[in-house]
Amino acid sequence: MSEYKRIFYDTNPLIYYLEQNESYLDKMKRFLTEQTEADSDFVTSTITVGEYLTGPYKNQDNRLIADFKGFISVYDFDVVPISWEIAEEAARIRGKYKDYKLMDSLQLATAKHSGCDAFVSNDLQLRKFEGLDILIVDEFPSEDLLID
What tens digit of pLDDT does each residue of 30-88 get?
999 999 999 999 999 999 999 999 999 999 999 999 999 999 999 999 999 999 999 99
Contacts of 82 (CB under 8 A, 6+ apart): 45, 46, 47, 106, 110
pLDDT higher than 80, residue 143: no
Domains and their CATH numbers in the chain? 6-138 (3.40.50.1010)
Closest among 8, 15, 13 to 53, alpha carbons compared: 15
Which element (helix H / strand E) includes 91?
A: helix 84-96
Mean pLDDT of the 85-114 span: 97
What gap in Å lies between CA 34 and CA 118, rounded to an integer? Answer: 14
Supply the pTM of this predicted model: 0.92
pLDDT higher than 90, residue 1: no
Q: Report residue 20's pLDDT band, with 50, 70 and 90 as the boundaries.
A: very high
